[in-house]
A and B are shown apart, each in its own frame.
Chain A
Amino acid sequence: MSNTVPNAAQLQKSLNDYLVENSSVSVSGTIDPEENLLDTGILDSLGIAEITEFMEKEFGVEIDEEEISAKNYRSLKTLTDFCLAKLGRAAA
């Protein structure tokens, strides 16, 4: 886990890099932040479980099952916003 709280751009890059490296479908270097990760298969059921674990370990957030929803995991942008909100809550 990183020692400093990342900003939005750092978070997005970190998540982007993780997905490019680990997605089971071929992904180019940068994912469009609005691209639907679920429809494109960039996140499948296994990928969802794994990126959840990645966020928990990398950013030190705790994610409830209920929060692993399409609303939060739909795109790189919603994932970033979700992570930021969790970090904000954790810091408060």
Chain B
Amino acid sequence: MKSTVKADLILVHAPAIFDFRNRDDMALGWYSSQESSNVTPIFEMYPLGFLSIKSYLAERGLHVEIVNLASLMLKHPTLDVDKLIGHLDAPIFGIDLHWLPHCQGSVEVAGVLKKHHPDSFVVFGGIVSTYYAKEMMQYPQIDGVIRGYDTLEPLCQLVSDIKKGQRGKFDVPNMIYKDDEFIVDNGHAYTPDILNDVAIDWSKMFPKTQSLLNLPNLMVLPNTGCQQSCGWCSGSRWAYQRMMNVSKKTVFHRRSEQLAREITTFPKTESPLSVYTLQAYSESGPRLIDYLKAVDESGVVKSVSFEQFRLTKPSLLREMVNAAPNTDIYINLSPQSHDVEISRLTGRGTYTNPEMEDWIQEALDIGIKGFYLWYTIGMPQQTHASVMETVEYSARLMERFPDDKVIPTIFGMIPFLDPGCQWFEEPEKHGYKVFHRDLQSHRESLLKPMWKDAMNYETKWMARDEFLPSMYEAMQTLANYKADFGRVTKKSIKIVNSRIDHLRYLTGSIDRAYAKDGALPASLRRELLDHNNDILSYAADVVLVKKPLEGRWYDDHAVPKDVIQSCLH
């Protein structure tokens, strides 16, 4: 009997680029937030929303499977994707286009799904899908898009309707879809006050024997939206008011009961479990304390990280530490630049550097374990010189706070400025120039050999071709400072330096070859192929170390081994 993955709904996570394997026409490197998370350049992490969908529909008697195609292709480079997709069996396939770097791969994978399952409904969701919903209807392989920050109930309704045999007309809120040759728009009126009213079940997300090369970490999302209007962020108040059909209320919390339920599913792992708490800056003090108490009482968590927007009051920090005596607490702060004026223009800048440093010292004295500071390249008024001054300031911070207490990181906002954010919508007003506006242009840009052609913006203060060299120089200089201050070992710094030098050489070679001949010579293509295959074997993290491409919460749990084996060349 032919083995299949069968469900009422199969959610498929596509790689950023399809097909990314054996490419000799581009250099895969560090891009955007990839530098800050444990993924490769093809972004194999899927949105947490997939897990919420699975739990929500399961509670209503519907069977959902999540197939992480990106992760499977990475782990099994000879995987025959057509054959694998032939093994999937569902009346609906859901694809995430939440983050823009997936725009090329997600639509291509939808095409493969439609080829093998022409009668199945292919539906998209996510922030970028919401923004481009109407344009996405031009692709024959996409049947519908459900818009919004919470699509649990509309998707549940769609899956129930299709399971009952309904075809054609759907009364699903927030959905735009095709009915024969007509496009039907059901509007965007479903904006629930409570976010994702369900608890994710983490209990089976990690293998029993967890390799320490991939320490287990999971994420909790207590809310969505924001009260702040940072100009570069499509999750900001400004962007939500324009994209999500909301007005005064722009932050949507999950119920505390659901967060508590979710925490009870955290697994006991052999290795220390870390929890990253997204968007904690939109949480009230009492909710933070309740959350921390529940995490601490679970008895399985070693450390928990919080994102904070302002300098949290010391009294609250003290309460946090007291609430979780057995858990290490880390705080993530994103000043974006050492220059307070630039920081203010990004929507931050509510504190000066001396104020931040004094606060860090006080927080450490209170018992906060450490701080991650995030600086970004691509901000208003930010020149390359300013970027390098941020690196110098980061070095001074490491000198003042030894022993891993403060870890600064800098990365470039490349290749994309988020559609829907204020600077994308009103570029000239903020000193920005946007090169790609529609979805198709973004999709094509990701396949351009010259990296700068992929960038969808530049600023009055930095031209497109300055970004990558600036980012490489900043990252390399900061990494070397980290080695000087003992944050990374001397051996690791050699790897980082050689990796960045090689990327610099490859991207430079591509640019020169195109400027001279308009094409890539065979010898360079061979080098690119070797580089790309090599870099895909790394789960990146901040420092490049080879890690297993499995065992992370977002790796594939759905496709049986025998199916995978039958799909390998």
Contact = CB atoms under 8 A, between A and B. Distances in A.
Contacts of B402: 26
B166 interface: no
Contacts of B325: none
A45 B402 CA distance: 19
A70 B212 contact: yes
Given A38-B271, A39-B302, A70-B270, A49 B213 contact: yes
A45 to B, nearest CB: 5
B489 interface: yes
Contact of B213 (A24, A38, A45): A45
B545 interface: yes
Contact of A65 (B211, B270, B404, B492): B211
A2 interface: no
B548 interface: yes
Contacts of B270: 69-71
B81 interface: no
Contact of B212 (A22, A41, A73): A73
Interface string B524-553: 000000000000000001010111100000
Chain A interface size, under 10 / 10 to 19 / 20 to 34 / 35 or more: 20 to 34
Chain B interface size, under 10 / 10 to 19 / 20 to 34 / 35 or more: 20 to 34
B541 A45 contact: yes
B488 A46 contact: yes
Interface in A20-45: 22, 24-26, 38-39, 41, 43, 45
A48 interface: yes
A46 B492 contact: yes
B211 A66 contact: yes
Nearest to A66: B209
Contacts of A48: 212-213
A50 interface: yes
A5 interface: no
B211 A24 contact: no
A68 interface: yes
Contact of B211 (A22, A46, A69): A69
A73 B212 CA distance: 8
Contacts of B302: 39
Given A26-B403, A39-B302, A69 B210 contact: yes
A72 to B, nearest CB: 9
B545 A49 contact: yes
B286 interface: no
Interface in B433-464: none
A50 B211 CA distance: 14
A69 B547 contact: no
B73 to A, nearest CB: 20
A36 to B, nearest CB: 9
A45 B546 CA distance: 11
A34 to B, nearest CB: 17
Contacts of A26: 402-403
Interface in B269-314: 270-272, 302
A69 B404 contact: no
A50 to B, nearest CB: 6
A41 B541 contact: no
B209 A24 contact: no
Interface in B385-433: 402-404
Nearest to A52: B213
Contact of A22 (B213, B404, B489, B548): B489
A48 to B, nearest CB: 5
Interface in A42-83: 43, 45-50, 52, 65-66, 68-71, 73
Contacts of B215: 45
Contacts of B492: 46, 50
Contact of A24 (B272, B404, B547): B404
A65 B550 CA distance: 11
B9 to A, nearest CB: 33
Contacts of B545: 45-46, 49
Given A39-B272, A69-B271, 8 more contacts: A45-B213, A48-B212, A49-B213, A50-B489, A66-B209, A68-B211, A69-B212, A70-B210
Interface of A: 22, 24-26, 38-39, 41, 43, 45-50, 52, 65-66, 68-71, 73
Interface of B: 209-215, 270-272, 302, 402-404, 486-489, 491-492, 541, 543, 545-548
20 contacts: A22-B489, A25-B403, A25-B404, A38-B271, A38-B272, A39-B302, A45-B212, A45-B541, A45-B545, A46-B492, A49-B213, A49-B545, A50-B491, A52-B213, A65-B213, A65-B548, A69-B210, A69-B271, A70-B212, A70-B270
